[in-house]
Amino acid sequence: MNYQWSPGTPIGDGTNQISGLAAGLWSCIIVDSLGCTITYSAEIIEPSQIDVSVFPQIILASEVTMEVQLLV
């Protein structure tokens, strides 16, 4: 099977698993070993802004350091 994604060239182009897509209308043309094709389309909608608050408030001693990582 061959997978042709458009518009653009996403990570994983040519395969059935892609990533890094921007918001918008995406299409995939799938071609099998006999040359038969089918096209699928989907719209990716960018989500609204995410607001994050971290609780509780952390108070550190004067010589203590802390690193906080937040993955969304």
Overall average pLDDT of the 11-16 stretch = 88
Task: Please say if the pLDDT value at position 22 is more than 70.
Answer: yes
Number of domains in the chain: 1
Six-digit token pair at 60? Answer: 């550190």
Q: Rounded CA gap, 63 and 59, in Å?
A: 12
Q: Cβ(42)–Cβ(26) under 8 Å?
A: yes
Q: For residue 6, what is the enclosing H or E element?
A: strand 2-6
Output the pLDDT for position 48.
78
User: What is the DSSP code string of 31-45?
Assistant: E-TTS-EEEEEEEE-
List the domain range (segments joined by +) for residue 65: 1-72
Percent of the chain whose pLDDT exceeds 90: 22
